[in-house]
Amino acid sequence: MYDQINADTLTKAGQFVLSDVQLISYVSSDGGSEPRKLSVRSQIMEINIYEDIFTKGLSGNVVIVDNQNVPNHLPLTGFERIEFKLNTPGISKGFDFTSVTGHPMYIYKISGRQEVSPRTQIYVLHFSSKEILTNEKKKIYRAMSGNIDQMIMNIFRQDLESNKTLIVEETKGTRKYIPTGLRPFEFIDGLCNNAESGRFANAGFLFYEDSTGYRFRSLENMLAITDGSARPAVARFEKKPRSVKGGTGITNIIQEMQTVNSFSIDNQYDTIKNLRNGVFASRTISHNLMDKTYSINDYDYNMEFENNYHTEHDGNGGKTDDKSMAPMINYHGKQFSDYSEAAVYLKSTTSNIHNDFESSSGTNMAKRLSQRLAFASMQVSLTARGFTGLSAGDVVALEIPSYEPPGVDNPLDNDPYMSGRYLVKKIRHRVDTAKDSHTMAIQCVKDAVRTPYPVETIDTFTNRENTDATNVLQYDLDDALVNEASKGDKPDFLS
């Protein structure tokens, strides 16, 4: 998407186009059929818009410096709409929150209202997608059957009453569910957890909104195209000096837009957490009430890794088997993925509950949790110049410095493991109208390393600690201290 930037149109990194910003009241204008409208574009100090693949809709806020007492005169009650457009110059993809060509956002809260001067106040108006508000008003009681992607479309159009674009990844398996008073998003969460891709050997889907509309898709679909190749990265971010003209005397806008202002490695690994949560291994006990049987399925991360697409590929866009975040090591004669009892799940797979409708497979839960929690293990946050062409769910490349003296061992001076391809988990678009700047705070995650970790067959763990095990009884220890003290003056600890 960054390659679509036109340097003739976008002349400065972080440049943006912001339309008029209007607040639309529920009160009619002069008793007519049209609602009362108020432009607040000149009073806005800051706009924030949030996208997140683990959140069910867009949200944001505007910071307003107000000397017209808008909260009382409009009035502001938490039942208003806000309309505006925001995009990067020359890029058609952006945020259209207008009622004519897009979908307005709905104000639901005012916060931080305080005095700036005797006649001026400042406050924050919070807004969200209409679907988030609709979700709070509705509950679902009717039975649904068919493929899960069909159920998602039905809920989206009928219960959430949405006219937005919905992009759906097809699922396999015929299901039947009877929700008992669940809110639409709660029911969708359950469907996402049980959905299985029609093209990929994965489990678990996500339902979220970006600037183009709503998406129902698997994590693996974000990483790979259904024709069997890795999804191309839309950007290549790196930390380097700004305004480098490369000897031409002209600043490269595209490179400038992909230069990282700041970054932090939030998480790189957490072995204890991954063991407890079943990332490396788990056991699923499935019970079938119909025929009174049960089965045990063990999930092995190292065995399953090569069956799915990950953020890193084999160099040719295919699946990889040696770039997992868990190195192959000899730990007391086993791999970490051999400890299946580290996390145990119970699941009902009772057949024929609804005639010939199917249940999800017994390994669905283990695969879904392992894949999702693996992404939580490797996480990087960065800030860069704003660009509305980038969305949550996109794949980007990130070069992380190696923090070592330059040398032949690392000629590119990049971290060989943490650098590479990332999935954009969430974005905060921040528009500062006073400074005329648009920046992004991006959180990226990955589930594989760019350079494979070393493989070790030697057990470097066994007998590496003191083997003189000693058990001491507390009362015996206390008696010994008292006897010692009775031989002479009181020790300090008895004073």
The pLDDT confidence band at residue 321, using thresholds 50, 70 and 90, is very high
The pLDDT confidence band at residue 355, using thresholds 50, 70 and 90, is very low
492 has pLDDT over 80: no
The token duo for 452 is 């494979």
Give the per-residue pLDDT at 482: 86
For 449-461, the three-class secondary structure string (H helix, E strand, C coil) is CCCCCCCCCCCCC
State the average pLDDT over residues 304-323. 93
361 has pLDDT over 80: no
DSSP tag of 338: G
Confirm if 96 and 113 have CB atoms less than 8 A apart. no
d(CA 418, CA 400): 7
State the average pLDDT over residues 445-462. 92
Give the per-residue pLDDT at 46: 98
What amino acid occupies position 142? R
Q: What is the DSSP string of 114-166?
A: EEEETTEEEEEEEEE-HHHHHHHH--B-S-EEE-HHHHHHHIIIIIS---S-E
The token duo for 471 is 């058990």
DSSP tag of 30: T
379 has pLDDT over 70: yes
The pLDDT confidence band at residue 350, using thresholds 50, 70 and 90, is low
Residue 160's alpha-carbon distances to 114, 420, 447, in angstroms, are 36, 38, 33
362 has pLDDT over 60: no
State the average pLDDT over residues 364-383. 91
Mean pLDDT of the chain: 90
pTM metric for this prediction:
0.91
224 has pLDDT over 60: yes
State the average pLDDT over residues 278-284. 91
Helix (H, G, I), strand (E, B) or coil at 12: coil
Query: Lowest-pLDDT range, 209-223, 241-255, 313-327, 408-422?
Result: 241-255
Give the per-residue pLDDT at 239: 87
State the average pLDDT over residues 98-127. 97
CATH 2.40.10.10 domain range(s) in the chain: 2-131
Give the per-residue pLDDT at 247: 54
Q: Which residues pair with 115 in a beta bridge?
A: 121
459 has pLDDT over 80: yes
Confirm if 5 and 92 have CB atoms less than 8 A apart. no
The pLDDT confidence band at residue 468, using thresholds 50, 70 and 90, is confident
Query: Lowest-pLDDT range, 246-255, 354-363, 368-377?
Result: 354-363
Report pLDDT digits (tens) over 32-76.
888 999 999 999 999 999 999 999 999 999 999 999 999 999 999
Residue holding tokens 């995650």?
A: 445
State the average pLDDT over residues 439-464. 92
Most confidently modeled of 13-17, 202-206, 350-354, 406-410? 13-17
Give the per-residue pLDDT at 245: 55
Closest to 279 measured CA to CA, from 366, 396, 168, 365: 366
The pLDDT confidence band at residue 111, using thresholds 50, 70 and 90, is very high
Q: Is the pLDDT higher at 4 or at 412?
A: 4
State the average pLDDT over residues 407-428. 88
CATH H-level superfamily of 2-131: Trypsin-like serine proteases (2.40.10.10)
Give the sheet arrangement for strand 293-300, strand by strand: 293-300, 281-288, 344-348
282 has pLDDT over 70: yes
What amino acid occupies position 328? M
Residue holding tokens 């409708």?
A: 357
335 has pLDDT over 90: no
Report pLDDT digits (tens) over 145-181.
999 999 999 999 999 999 999 999 999 988 889 898 9
